[in-house]
Amino acid sequence: MVRILTVLIFLLVSVTAFAGEVRLGALFAETGPASYLGHPEKLTAEMLVAEINAAGGINGDKVVLVSYDTQGDEQRAINYFKRLVTKDKVFAVIGPTTTGSSLAVKDLADKFKTPLISCAASAAIVTPVNKYVFKTPQSDIHAAETIFKYMKSKGMKKAAILTAQNGFGVTGRDALIEGAKAQGIQIVSDEKFGDKDKDMTSQLSKIKAAGPDAVICWGVGPAPAIVAKNAKDLGIQNLFMSHGVASMKFIELAGASADGIRLPAGRLIVADRLADSDPFKPVLMKYKKDYEGKFNMPVSAFGGHAYDAFYLFKLAYEKSGADTEKFVSALAGIKGFKGTAGEFNMTEQDHNGLSSDAFIMVEIKDGKFEIAK
């Protein structure tokens, strides 16, 4: 009898599909320092859910989106993930927005056997591989590789790094240090800053004294814009940023100091400057047109991460239906999906599925992103 009751309880807890609908959880930093990442993610998810439901849903199931604002806070992400699974009975979760929040809920996805498709960049989210955890953005390892290869092409051999003291910054710093070794770049200065710091002149002054060929800042939110302004005041040349600032919001915050900054980014932010023969241009331009037409604001790479997460969910659910084990197997088997970040080719060992060619180098000129030369 005890065994029968245990089985019944498990079945009651594990039921996450309702007749004619599939419940999809979402964790985005809609407010707080990372809101310019998370807000477009939420808008994108809502837009896509409305489009899919208007077209009949997925396999006839309407998608019910249950979304919570993490504010970029790791404890809030943990609490809301548990709520999504135990009270809202979602089938899968897209997000969180930030690396720190994604790493905070990674083990919970495994514990509750709930698929998670993160919208954060760090390779640590999917390394080592967890059966239930996937992510859509290009990884920090590929971003560092792209920057260093570009530097070498311009004859730059010495770099200084300035990284944020958060999950994104810590794993980014690791990627920079390892990437520099692989590409033969010398790190001549290694400084850090806090998310809420208001002035990085002290760190940048030490960096300038070390005489680097280039300075690489790795962070998200308002702080990198302060770095840009401080660097300009100090006359620092060749400032690079990470893909964490691939948004018009960064340019708005940094103002004229953003001009000349180069960074690795997906093709979305320069979609209309791509050649018509570019295989990604059709999907990028459609998303850009739909998003900007509906919300009257510029599309960003971060909304694109939610776009990719939702469509990966859709593709897998079409094959699996409401069977979690079949779903994660279908997700790990997706090949050749052209999303906003690049072409996804998932495997059992690679739960990101992107390669370094998903990045291109862009440069900010006159307040706009342009393809870097």
Number of Cβ within 10 Å of residue 3's Cβ equals 7
Cα angle: 210, vertex 214, 216; to 5 degrees = 100
CB 242 within 8 Å of CB 263: yes
Q: What pTM, to 2 d.p., does this model score?
A: 0.86
Grouping H, G, I as helix, E, B as strand and the rest as coil, residue 32 is: coil
Where does residue 126 rank: exposed (0-12), middle (13-18), buried (19+ CB within 10 A)? Answer: buried
- Are 123 and 352 a contacting pair, CB within 8 Å? yes
Per-residue DSSP letter, 174 = H
Structure token digits, residue 300: 């960003």
Per-residue pLDDT tens digits for 246-304: 989 999 999 999 999 999 999 999 999 999 999 999 999 999 999 999 999 999 899 99
Residue from 243, 104, 17, 76 nearest 118 by CA: 104
Contact (CB, 8 A) for 193 and 250: no
Q: What is the pLDDT of residue 7?
A: 44
Which pLDDT does position 354 carry in this prediction?
96
Partners of 68 in beta bridges:
27
CB 346 within 8 A of CB 334: yes
Residue 207, pLDDT score:
98
Q: Quote the pLDDT of residue 255.
A: 97
- DSSP element (H, E) containing 337: strand 337-338
pLDDT value, residue 121: 87
Contact 227, 219 (CB under 8 A): yes
Residues lower than pLDDT 50 in the chain? 1-16
Q: With pLDDT > 70 as the criterion, what percentage of the chain qualifies?
A: 95
| Cβ neighbours around 43 below 10 Å, total | 18
DSSP 58: B
For residue 253, the number of C-alpha atoms closer than 13 Å in the C-beta half-sphere is 19
How crowded is the C-beta side of 79, counted as CA atoms within 13 Å?
Answer: 9
pLDDT at position 9 is 42
The closest alpha carbon to 68, from 35, 18, 29, belongs to 29
pLDDT at 34: 87
**How many other C-beta atoms are found inside a 10 Å radius of the C-beta of residue 60?**
8
What distance in Å separates the CA atoms of residue 315 and residue 310, rounded to the nearest whole number?
A: 9
